[in-house]
Every structure is written in structure tokens, then in C-alpha cells.
Structure 1
Amino acid sequence: MYKIVGFPRTRAMRVMWLLEELGEPYQIDPALPQSGDARSFNPSGKVPILIDGEAAITDSVAICTYLADKHGRFTFPAGTIQRALQDSFTQFGVDVLEGALWTASKNTFIHPEDMRVPEIRKVCNMEFQTGLETLEKRIGAGPYAMGETFTIADIIIGHCSGWAVAAKFDLPKDGPVYDYFKRLRQRPAFKAMKAKVDAA
């Protein structure tokens, strides 16, 4: 059985969502970021960490990529054009959408108070909104980032939409991106993950 080290209300949600999609059993050690438990597996103290046998894998994107490759689902084969395009969507989610959210978070409650730059939130929100405009152009008719195929890129981008709500960043009230995020939230695996997160 897989083990996720990391409090569910973190990027651990991505790993939980994928494992729900895969139908794989898992247990959760709800370690907080920078806790002793987290640092025992990851010197940076960041979560999540996936424990698979004797291996400890860090970084949610690396974990999701590993799991999708291992189980041969929710990803295109490495070395294909489709995989390159999928990875491009994943990197877009991390670099553009998550980048804006993470910078805002660090300057809201993560960095020591005397090191925060609250004014940067305005720039982050602008970058996030620009990212959503790009996402609308990139997903086209959908229904998912890679057309008819749901992949881990959708999990990374979809997680960013929930993070945006928590961070009080604006999301579209209608249109293709609104429909896309709604479609992701309606997936049974997402609902199963969300129920576990809410209960944590």
C-alpha cells in the first residue's frame, strides 16, 4: 500500500486525487510542512512525500508522474509527442498558475512577517488571470487539457483552481475555463479525495 506523508490540505491533494483515480489504496501520515516527520524524508521539509516500499519520492509533480507511468494510466507514453504536449500543460500549471499562487502564499503567511511583500499579491493575481486567459486558448474544445484524455496535467491544473478559491483569487464565472474546472470537480475520484481532505 502507498503511504502519503503530508497534511491533506497541501499539494498532497494532487497525489490523493490521482490515487483515487487509479483505485489504489493508500494511507496518510498528516505531517505538516517543515515538521520532523516531513524532514525525515525530505530535507527541505516540503510535503507531500510518497512512500513506495523502501523508496521516498518527493515533489507532487514527480510523484504523480511516477504513479501514472507505473500504472500506465492518465498519461501518454514517454518519448511521444502527446507526452511532450502533456508535460507542457503540466509545466504551464506549475510555472504560471501555481507560481502566482505560491508567491502570493509565501508573502501572505509562509515567510516570516518581516520578510513578506504584501503588495506582490496584486502582481500575482494579474499573472494568474493572464494564465487563465492562456489556459482558455490552450484547452480549446476540451473536455480536458489533452482533449478527450484525462491526464495528470488536469490534476495539477485542477488543484490550482481550488487553491485559487482558498487564496481568494478570482475564477471565471462562465465560459470554457469555468466549464473545464467544473468538469474536473465532478469526477468521482475528485469528490472522494475532497471528502477525505474535508474530514482531515
Structure 2
Amino acid sequence: MKYTLLGTAKTRAFRPLWLLEELEVDYEHQPVGPRSDEVRRASPLGKVPVLLADDRAIPDSAAILQFLADRHGAFTFAAGTVERAKQDAWTFRILDELDALLWTAARHSFILPEPARVPAIKDSLKSEFAENLSRITDDIAGPYLLGETMTVPDILLCHCGGWARAAKFPDPPEAFKDYTRTLRAREAYKRASALP
């Protein structure tokens, strides 16, 4: 299968870039921005990332991650198992309790037209994020979310941690820092981090 990943590593495109590196599959990376001509040709949403799999577009980082994991039988539990249900629950929890808050803060920082921005909302988002991350950290089985097996939601959670740091959200618990250090030490993470 031929893969092309659209999006710069400084966006949510980092997530599938990291997984592609973990899987050690051949792919082309086009470090283009949201709403660029290349992205709009692939997906009318205009958002990154977009994965072209045999020239068919798959938008959304979480969907791309799970597609790649399922396709290659790695970083995921099998569909229809209780373990997969628990994995999916983690994915949805991270997207709901962390990613959505970070995205809303970004929208009110630089994405929405200036008259539509409400900068004061960010204090509330940061407070809620900190509470959610504390509870999530308490539930990490260790060394990965579901124990000994690294899965898709580990990539999501680690990326949200880095995004929060860049967005100047509150410092995470020490146990969360330890968890992300383990993930950031992986060679695939380092290779993805070096991409444009």
C-alpha cells in the first residue's frame, strides 16, 4: 500500500508520522499547512493531517492512527475484544477530555477571526485540562496506558502532553512526565520529531 501523509510535524500530523515511523513502512511526507491547495485537493475539510492510502483520503489523526494500526496489526488490540474496547475507551477519553480543550484554546488564540475570540475562556480550559490530566494520570496502568503494550491512545496522550506544554498549560503531574519520557525516548518518536 502506498501512503502519503499531508501536514507538518508541528500539527496533529505528528501523531500519524510517529506511528508510520514506529511501523517502519514506506511513506511520503508532504509538510503542508491546513487549508493549503494540496490539502484541499485531498480533503474538502482543509484540515491536517490527511493520509492518502492508495490515493484515497483519510482525514483526522485518530482515524488515521487506528486505520494504520489495524492495517498493520500493531499498536492495537484486535477488534471485537474487550482489550480493544478498553483501548477505544482511552482514545475517546483523551480526545474528549484533553484534545478538545487544547483545540478550543488554539481556536481562541489564533484560529478564529479576532472578533470571535474569547481569550478569557483559556483560563477555564486550562483548569479543566489540569483536573482531567490528573485523573488520567492516576489511571495509567504503566508503563503504557493499557500495561505492557503501547497502543494508539498512547500516541494521542503523549502528543496532547507536548501540545499542552507548548500552549503554556499547567505543568502535568510528575507521574505523567515519567510516562511521556518513556514514549519520547523511543527511536520512532525521535525520527518523527526531526521531520518538517
- Taking structure 1 as the reference length, the TM-score comes to 0.94
Query: Which structure 1 residue ranges, 5 or more long, are not aligned?
Result: none
For 1:61 and 1:27, how far apart are their aligned partners in 2?
A: 19
Query: Aligned residue for 2:147?
Result: 147
Q: Indicate if the aligned counterparts of 1:4 and 1:26 stay in contact, CA closer than 8 A.
A: yes
Moved over 4 A (4+): none
Q: Indicate if the aligned counterparts of 2:134 and 2:172 stay in contact, CA closer than 8 A.
A: no
Structure 1 vs Structure 2: percent identity of aligned residues?
A: 46
For 1:75 and 1:172, how far apart are their aligned partners in 2?
A: 26
Amino acid at match of 2:193: K
Q: Indicate if the aligned counterparts of 2:43 and 2:59 stay in contact, CA closer than 8 A.
A: yes
Q: Indicate if the aligned counterparts of 1:171 and 1:178 stay in contact, CA closer than 8 A.
A: no
1:53-68 alignment runs, 5 A limit: 53-68=54-69
Matched residue of 1:158: which SS? helix
Query: Aligned residue for 1:42?
Result: 43
Deviates more, 1:60-69 or 1:22-31: 22-31
For 1:47 and 1:119, how far apart are their aligned partners in 2?
A: 27
Query: Aligned residue for 2:27?
Result: 26
Query: Aligned residue for 1:121?
Result: 122
C-alpha distance after superposition, 1:87-140 (max 9, x if no partner): 111111111111111110000000000100000000110111011111122114
Matched residue of 2:101: which SS? helix
Shift of 1:173: 5.8
Query: Which structure 2 residue ranges, 5 or more long, are not aligned?
Result: none
- Taking structure 2 as the reference length, the TM-score comes to 0.96
Matched residue of 1:145: which SS? coil
Matched residue of 2:194: which SS? helix
Query: Aligned residue for 1:191?
Result: 190
Equivalenced residue count is: 195
Q: CA RMSD in A?
A: 1.1
C-alpha distance after superposition, 1:40-96 (max 9, x if no partner): 111111111111113111111111100000000000001111001001111111111
For 1:164 and 1:108, how far apart are their aligned partners in 2?
A: 13
Amino acid at match of 2:154: D
Query: Aligned residue for 1:157?
Result: 157
Shift of 1:7: 2.0
